[in-house]
Each structure stands twice: as C-alpha cells, then as structure tokens.
Amino acid sequence: MTFKDAVQFHGHSCPGLAMGFRVAETALEALDFDRSTDEELVAIVENNSCAVDAIQVVCGCTFGKGNLQFRDYGKQVYTFIKRPSGEAVRIAVKWKPRPENEQEKTMWQRYARGERTEDVLRVVHARKAKKTKDILVAGAEELFDCRRFTADQPETARIYPSLRCNQCGEKVMEPKARTKNNEVFCIPCYEAHLNP
Ligand SMILES: [Zn+2]
Ligand SMILES: [Zn+2]
C-alpha cells in the first residue's frame, strides 16, 4: 500500500493522512506483521482524524471488521496489537512542524477568520503540502515515541442476538438494549422515553 492508495480512499492529501500513513508503516515494521499469515492486527486509535483513514487502508484495521477500536481521547496516540501473540506497540506522535513564516502566520489567521480568497488559499494550501511532504520524509524517530509491550488479548468481534425494541419495533443487539419495567428499548427510544 502506498500513500497514493491512502489518498484515494481518504479523498485528499493532507498532513493528518500523511501522519497516519507513517504511523501505519511504523507499526507494521515494529511488529513485523505479515498479512499473509493467520495473524491479525488490532488498532486502537485515540482520535478520529484524517490519520485513521490511512491506518485502515495500510493496516487493514477497519471499523466494520472490529479490529479498529476508537477511544475518544483526542490524542495522537495509536496502539497496535498482534493476535494471537499479543506483541504490541504504542505510537505517540511527538513531531513538531517547522515554524510558520510571517506570511504563513498572517494568512493562517485570515483563513481561521473565514477568509477564502485566492491569496489566502494559495498560502494555506502550500503550507499544508509542505507539511505533508515533511511528514512523509521525516525519520520515524523524529515523528514518534514508540513503546513495545505485550498486551492482554483484546476481545475478538462478537456476534450478539437481536432483540426487538418495544417502541419503534426495530432490532437492536442485546448488549445495547435497555430495559424499563420489563420492556425492551433501543437506546434512542429509551432516551426519548426518559426525556419526553
Ligand atoms: Zn484529510
Ligand atoms: Zn426503538
């Protein structure tokens, strides 16, 4: 998988995607992960930014397969665990972009205030492209703090029975169902019921 593949999936090239791409590469290398065996890789991501799209493409860790777990901490931290061995690596982004020059600073302020003129966009886009390139060519040790460890085994994706919500009649998987007075509800109906 190349950065181009990630761009195609994500829809644009950006610094966040580039960082995710480097995280993914670094993880695969650190864990010596080989897609051709029965091993599986689980990714735990602590943000839901552009970076995560690159991780899905490059590592094959996806939300739908259940081997991508999202912890909403707003941190640029990514943990990868190889199953069944439990070999793991935690990758924390420490990279600092090169400082903005005066023009970039002014244009960024104007952009942040909502200005979308050609002048502003040209400088902002150029700055982003430069950042993307810097990330793609930087050494992994410049970008990340990596720590290897052996993890407890994360649970595999499970299949749960479905129940039917008493209010809307739609199906809901058992662990997500709520009950009140022996009646089963889906979460939206339960919440609407509590706060009518
Ligand atoms: Zn993006
Ligand atoms: Zn319902």
pLDDT of residue 156: 64
Report the C-alpha gap between 184 and 172 in whole angstroms. Answer: 10
Residue 25's CB: how many other CB atoms inside 10 A? 16
Low pLDDT (below 70) residues in the chain? 36, 153-157, 196
Which residues lie near ion ligand 2 (Cβ < 5 Å)? Answer: 165, 167-168, 186, 189
Note the CATH architecture for domain 3-95+138-150: 2-Layer Sandwich (3.30)
Compute, in angstroms, the gap from residue 194 CA to the centroid of ligand 2: 13
| 39-42 contact pairs (CB < 8 A, 24+) | 39/82, 39/83, 39/84, 39/85, 40/67, 40/82, 40/83, 40/84, 41/67, 41/80, 41/81, 41/82, 41/83, 42/67, 42/68, 42/69, 42/80, 42/81, 42/82, 42/83, 42/154
Question: What tokens appear for 85 in the block?
Answer: 């061995």
Compute, in angstroms, the gap from residue 169 CA to the centroid of ligand 2: 6
Q: pLDDT tens, 99-112?
A: 999 999 999 999 99
Compute, in angstroms, the gap from residue 16 CA to the centroid of ligand 1: 6
Compute, in angstroms, the gap from residue 123 CA to the centroid of ligand 1: 17
For residue 185, the ligand closest to its alpha carbon is 2
pLDDT of residue 196: 64
pLDDT of residue 35: 73
Compute, in angstroms, the gap from residue 160 CA to the centroid of ligand 2: 17
Compute, in angstroms, the gap from residue 102 CA to the centroid of ligand 1: 25
Compute, in angstroms, the gap from residue 48 CA to the centroid of ligand 2: 27
Question: What tokens appear for 106 in the block?
Answer: 């002014």
Report the C-alpha gap between 79 and 92 in whole angstroms. Answer: 9
Q: What is the CATH number of domain 162-194?
A: 3.30.60
What pTM does this model have? 0.82
Please report, to the nearest 10 degrees, the dihedral formed by the alpha carbons of residues 75, 78, 84, 87 taken in order.
-110
Q: What are 81's strand-pairing partners? A: 42, 88
For residue 12, the ligand closest to its alpha carbon is 1
Compute, in angstroms, the gap from residue 33 CA to the centroid of ligand 1: 26
- Domain ranges in the chain? 3-95+138-150, 162-194
For residue 172, the ligand closest to its alpha carbon is 2
For residue 52, the ligand closest to its alpha carbon is 1
For residue 128, the ligand closest to its alpha carbon is 1
